[in-house]
């Protein structure tokens, strides 16, 4: 199977809406960012206690090579000032690392004996682990002060996401990666697990970039439109975040949500095969790109209907779908300004009318 680049993956999706967001419209006084200074030793102790969250999903992808890690340790021993660190406090008082994960991972690994210094120009240090250093150098590392900027838990979620975008100095985070850190818990584990099932991969044609969690974003979108009132939709970031909050607060509902997702994936793939969640004409051979807005309405709309009824009315459902794609307003709503309240409302209204026309009143 040919490996796709990030750019190729992203060219295989439409209907996402604009992710290049400007600074949110919230009062400046709600930023609530405070500064603290802690030693490396203090920070690592809190990491080991679980009060600082080193998200393993990020840690796997964002680890530095050994040379870069060694240069960081060398900088500390040389007393070179380090860039500041950004953390976000959650409602349980835990600190989520927003910017500085690579550096903290390096310190944690080195002080726990998991890294040998690679410093060819310093023979006295090359090849040594932390316990091989002199007590003087060990103390210098442990006592190094780190400047931490902490985003308060009371800051608006939209502000926290925007700050994630602005301050990350390593590999830039996608909005879904930021949500994964911000709402870490049962909800984010649910997104991870559901996006890896064979059924999800088959129905989406393996077209979603896993490295930026685009696959988890699609599951997140399904969950949001499934469990939240559409009338409360105002903004996609807010909507997806509120869904994750609700899922974390009500983990007992997740098995039912999983069942509904699997039901709709089976139904959509049964109806459209490789064209599921993509614009296409009847009888079309080539496969178009995935459309996130089509995913929203088709995954949500078909989640409550039993498969025997879908099979019985397959022809009418396909005809109804293709008629939607001849409706200029519907096509516009899944193609342009797709995250606006107007377009979200339009596409769900028209899709609901089609489903009820073919299948009858929506089941409770």
**pTM of the shown model:** 0.77
Percent of the chain surpassing pLDDT 70: 87
Query: How confident is the model at residue 282, as a pLDDT?
Result: 87
Give the residue with greater pLDDT, 102 vs 217.
217
pLDDT at 24 over 80: no
Query: How confident is the model at residue 63, as a pLDDT?
Result: 66
96, 167 contact by CB (below 8 A):
no
pLDDT at 31 over 60: no
Query: How confident is the model at residue 75, as a pLDDT?
Result: 95
Using pLDDT thresholds of 50, 70 and 90, give the confidence band for residue 22: very low
Using pLDDT thresholds of 50, 70 and 90, give the confidence band for residue 152: confident
pLDDT tens, 338-352?
A: 999 999 999 999 999
Give the residue with greater pLDDT, 157 vs 286.
286
Q: What does the pLDDT average to over 177-202?
A: 92
Q: Token pair of 260, please?
A: 């509904």
Query: How confident is the model at residue 28, as a pLDDT?
Result: 54
pLDDT at 20 over 60: no
pLDDT tens, 231-251?
A: 999 999 889 999 999 999 999
pLDDT at 196 over 70: yes
Give the residue with greater pLDDT, 19 vs 129.
129
pLDDT tens, 307-326?
A: 999 999 999 999 999 999 99
pLDDT tens, 294-307?
A: 999 999 999 988 99
| Average confidence score pLDDT of the chain | 87
Give the residue with greater pLDDT, 157 vs 72.
72
Domain ranges of the chain: 6-16+175-202+209-359, 28-167
Give the residue with greater pLDDT, 21 vs 263.
263
Query: How confident is the model at residue 87, as a pLDDT?
Result: 87
């Amino acid at each position: 199977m040919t490996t796709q680049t990030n750019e190729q993956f992203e060219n295989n999706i439409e209907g996402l809406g604009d992710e290049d967001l400007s600074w949110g419209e919230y009062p400046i006084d709600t930023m609530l960012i405070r500064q603290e200074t802690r030693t490396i030793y203090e920070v690592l102790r809190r990491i080991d206690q679980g009060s600082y969250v080193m998200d393993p999903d990020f840690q796997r992808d964002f680890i530095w090579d050994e040379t870069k890690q060694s240069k960081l340790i060398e900088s500390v021993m040389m007393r070179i000032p380090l860039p500041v660190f950004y953390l976000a406090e959650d409602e349980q008082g835990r600190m989520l690392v927003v910017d500085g994960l690579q550096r903290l991972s390096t310190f944690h690994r080195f002080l726990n004996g998991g890294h040998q210094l690679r410093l060819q120009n310093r023979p006295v240090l090359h090849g040594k682990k932390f316990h091989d250093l002199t007590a003087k150098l060990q103390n210098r590392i442990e006592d190094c002060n780190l400047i931490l900027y902490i985003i308060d838990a009371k800051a608006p979620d939209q502000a926290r996401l925007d700050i994630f975008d602005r301050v990350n100095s390593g590999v830039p985070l996608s909005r879904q990666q930021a949500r994964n850190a911000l709402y870490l818990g049962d909800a984010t584990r649910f997104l991870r697990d559901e996006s890896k099932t064979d059924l999800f991969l088959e129905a989406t044609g393996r077209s979603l970039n896993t490295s930026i969690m685009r696959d988890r974003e699609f599951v997140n979108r399904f969950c949001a439109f499934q469990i939240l009132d559409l009338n409360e939709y105002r903004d996609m970031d807010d909507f997806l975040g509120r869904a994750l909050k609700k899922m974390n607060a009500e983990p007992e509902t997740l098995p039912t949500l999983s069942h509904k997702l699997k039901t709709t994936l089976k139904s959509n793939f049964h109806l459209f095969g490789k064209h599921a969640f993509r614009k296409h004409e009847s009888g079309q051979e080539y496969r178009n790109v995935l459309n996130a807005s089509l995913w929203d309405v088709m995954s949500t709309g078909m989640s409550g209907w039993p498969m025997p009824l879908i099979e019985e009315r397959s022809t009418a459902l396909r005809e109804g779908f293709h008629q939607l794609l001849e409706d200029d307003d519907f096509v516009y709503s899944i193609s342009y300004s797709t995250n606006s309240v107007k377009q979200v409302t339009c596409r769900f209204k028209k899709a609901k009318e089609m489903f009820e026309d073919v299948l009858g009143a929506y089941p409770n």
